[in-house]
Amino acid sequence: MTRQIVVEPDAAAEIERIDDWWRLHRDKHPTLFTSELTAAFRRIAALPSAGKAVAGTTISDVRRVLLPGCRFHIYYRYSQTQVQVLAIWSAQHAERPDL
């Protein structure tokens, strides 16, 4: 069963900001971020348990997957019908988003 992807407003704003930056500064691969994001959304919609569980969050059952080429994590949780995208966060940060 493929679940619906629901992107929270803060995560949507981050996606737009990152995509704008990526297209402006990565002239050899300007669409890498959106390509990896789209592929990851397809993967977690079909198999949401694929992500690694994230401990120590105030929101329950948070998972994450890595976009390997651009080094961002997608933080999400899921139910029987949807995947809720909570944050997009650089894997380069020492800390994680406040969830």
Are residues 53 and 62 in contact, defined by beta-carbon separation less than 8 angstroms? Answer: yes
The yes-or-no verdict on residue 64 having pLDDT over 90 is yes
Q: Is there a domain that residue 21 lies in? A: yes
Domain presence at residue 37: yes
pTM of the model: 0.92
Q: Does 98 reside within a domain?
A: no
pLDDT for 85 beyond 90: yes
Which neighbouring-strand residues pair with 4? 82
Going by their DSSP bridges, the two strands 72-78 and 63-67 should be labelled as antiparallel
Give every strand in the sheet of 4-7, ordered side by side.
4-7, 82-90, 72-78, 63-67, 52-53
- AA identity, residue 27: D
Per-residue model confidence as pLDDT tens digits over 11-37 = 999 999 999 999 999 889 999 999 999
Residue 99 belongs to some domain of the structure: no
